[in-house]
Chains A and B, each alone.
Chain A
Amino acid sequence: MNRYTWQTFILEAVMVLVGVLFFLPVYILVNLALKTPDDQSSPLAPVTNITFQNFSDAWSQANLGQALLTSAFVTVFSVLIIVAISALAAYPLARVTKRWSKWLFFVFMLGLLLPFQLALIPLYTTIRDLGLLGNPISLVLYYAGLQVPFSVFLYTGFIRAVPLDYEEAAAIDGAGPLRSFFSVIFPLVRPITGTVIILNVLHVWNDFLTPLLYLSGSSQQTVPVALFSFVSQYVSQWNLVFAGLVITIAPILIAYFAMQNTIIKGFASGLKG
């Protein structure tokens, strides 16, 4: 079992082939974005004379600079709020054994079952009546509430596994509950904070339907919506479209390749159940 046999070699060959096949669409995406529109070669043939014209055209025509800024604003602030309120809420839910704590946890978990489509339409009218349509702040508020159940779930499970001794020591040294939370609990649960951040950043950055509704008609669009309206205008100019796609997925891919181990572990550990 521990030796590299000929069976292992065959498995290796098959898996590498599968890996290449899986990665092929990403290769085509980048390859085509670098080709000139009149380049008639097959999308699989490597680019011969590289052009960056598509990128600068896509950048200006899709207003991608603005979109990246809006997406960054929405992502950073909603994830900050999610982490703060979920970790804080999970602390009593994990530690207090009274009935209200169990009930509240159950109510939060109910949120995992409700599809966002149900709340989407009534919430849209509320946001509209508050005059927040077209304002990215509406998205920050939305994600902060939407992602609470899942994040509370992850934090509560993790805090339950932390031994009480640390808080007891802190309490004996005179720390109140807030101090205990910030100086003892929050630093101890750093691994799950990593998972919560990764999962929420990806969800908020990639989400399409909500920003499509809440920001429609305004000049501030998130990346997926800017991409959507850009492609609707330039349907058949695939070199241009692909350059736009490459620009918008670049921030995620760079972050992913830089921290692939942490990110993959974060996904796995958070979702193992």
Chain B
Amino acid sequence: MSSAESRSLAVAEAAAPVPPLDRRTRKFTARRIGTVPWWFVVPALVFFLFVVLWPSVQGAAYAFTNWDGLSATKDFVGLAQFERLLKDPGGVGAVVHTLLIAFAITVVQNLIGLLLALGVHSKIKSRNILRVALFTPAVITPVATGYLWKYLMTPDGAINQLLGFFGLGALQHDWLGDADVALWSIVATVVWQFAGYSMVIFLAGLQGVPEDVLEASRIDGAGPFRRFWYVVRPELAPAITINLMLSIIGGLKLFDQVWVMTSGGPGTSTDTMSTLIYKNAFQFGDFSYGIAMALVLTAFVAILSTAQYKLLGKQGGTK
């Protein structure tokens, strides 16, 4: 076949597309021409089993022993490690801090992210550069942003200087040295870093909002809030779900920023489950207590993320 012939054939094919095969024929064709072999999954499965699945099963089992991580003996102690956790004020405190952090980050970060997305998704001329600028913190190493904010929050740091400059000296604080405030200072750092992340996901959802419906509802007299609630929000449902999921899980596992900013202090006022797992397992040599905490954390992650998925999944369905 000459190249001219094949080209005209291709043109004819493009002009009159072959009707798509129905499902049964497709399955049959796929089987006839050879299916994808199962062993393609083996490399990924081996890594996954070795790194995630098997150690997680081991971890779940060690939580019921008194193993110290080194000795050859380990005894089954039942729920003793979990009872310890309940009686340990530091452990209960860490659970409370972790839940507070996850809740605060989820609410504030997504609210700010949504407002930023609505502001950037408009006719303003600076929208492209703003999108880039607001997302910048999200790519920076969390250890680095932790140190940056640790400096900004020192008693004579930039935040207190700015407050003094604007005559708001009364608001000056030892942001990380005051046990009542330190936890929220860490939350503020994380929100600053990841609000742009939420914004970008909301922006992707906003692309699907139909402009003509917005315009029509505006002509019909719907104010900005009603337009947001009835036209924009339903389109955002998937973005909301994924954003909440990411911030809940991220907040529950938070370690890096806490570790570099306060290491859990002052006292134990900013200890989270992750910092306490690390301290117990690798500084106090209390492996199985650390693992018991990790198992509790796992339960929180599983329950909270499934709950929000179920709740919002329903809401998304009524759109």
Chain A residues proximal to chain B, CB less than 8 Å? 1-4, 8, 11-12, 14-16, 18-19, 22-23, 25-26, 28-29, 32, 42-44, 81, 84-86, 88-89, 91-93, 95-97, 100-101, 104, 107-108, 110-111, 113-126, 141-142, 144-146, 148-149, 152, 164, 167-168, 171-172, 176-177, 181, 202, 205-206, 208-209, 213, 223-224, 227-228, 231, 238, 241-242, 245, 248-249, 252-253, 256-257, 260, 263-264, 267-269, 271-273
Contacts and interface: CB of A to CB of B under 8 A. Distances in A.
A19 B127 CA distance: 10
Contact of A205 (B41, B122, B141): B141
B101 interface: no
Contacts of B197: 267
Given A115-B294, A118-B295, A202-B139, A241 B44 contact: no
Closest 9 CB pairs of A and B: A145-B51, A171-B33, A89-B44, A119-B55, A268-B204, A145-B47, A122-B58, A85-B44, A12-B124
A126 B54 CA distance: 11
B287 A121 contact: yes
A120 B255 CA distance: 13
Given A89-B45, A148-B48, A1 B218 contact: yes
B298 A177 contact: no
SS of A interface (majority): helix
Contacts of A264: 131-132, 135, 200
A135 to B, nearest CB: 15
B70 to A, nearest CB: 9
B298 A104 contact: no
23 contacts: A1-B215, A91-B40, A92-B40, A108-B48, A113-B301, A115-B298, A116-B253, A122-B55, A122-B56, A145-B49, A148-B47, A148-B48, A172-B33, A202-B139, A224-B256, A238-B151, A248-B144, A252-B139, A257-B132, A264-B132, A268-B203, A272-B201, A273-B239
Contact of A245 (B131, B147, B157, B242): B147
B37 A177 contact: yes
Interface of B: 26-27, 29-30, 33-38, 40-41, 43-45, 47-53, 55-56, 58-60, 62, 69, 116, 119-120, 122-127, 129-137, 139-145, 147-149, 151-152, 157-158, 161-162, 192, 195-197, 200-201, 203-205, 211, 214-215, 218, 238-239, 241-242, 246, 249, 252-253, 255-256, 259-260, 273-274, 277-278, 281-282, 287, 290-291, 294-295, 297-298, 301-302, 305-306
A271 B41 contact: no
A42 B161 contact: yes
Given A25-B149, A208-B259, A117 B142 contact: no
A89 B41 contact: yes
B137 A26 contact: yes
Contacts of B139: 202, 252-253, 256, 263
Nearest to B162: A44
B143 A227 contact: yes
A22 B189 CA distance: 11
Contacts of A8: 122-124
A214 to B, nearest CB: 11
Nearest to B195: A22
A221 to B, nearest CB: 12
A122 to B, nearest CB: 4
B218 A115 contact: no
Contacts of A248: 141, 144
Contact of A223 (B29, B120, B141): B141
Contact of A113 (B30, B148, B215, B302): B302
A62 B115 CA distance: 40
B266 to A, nearest CB: 16
Contacts of A202: 139
A69 to B, nearest CB: 16
Given A171-B33, A264-B135, A18 B119 contact: yes
A25 B30 contact: no
B71 to A, nearest CB: 12
A125 B72 CA distance: 12
Contacts of B278: 209
B40 A11 contact: no
Pick from A22, A118, A164, A231 the residue with the most CB of B within 10 Å: A118
Nearest to B277: A117
Contact of A86 (B44, B55, B162): B44
Contacts of B246: 271
Contact of B136 (A28, A111, A256): A256
Among A116, A122, A253, A268, the one with the most B-chain Cβ atoms within 10 Å of its Cβ is A122
Contact of B59 (A12, A32, A119): A119
Contact of B53 (A12, A96, A111, A227): A111
A13 to B, nearest CB: 9
Contacts of B48: 108, 111, 145, 148-149
A159 to B, nearest CB: 10
B144 A245 contact: yes
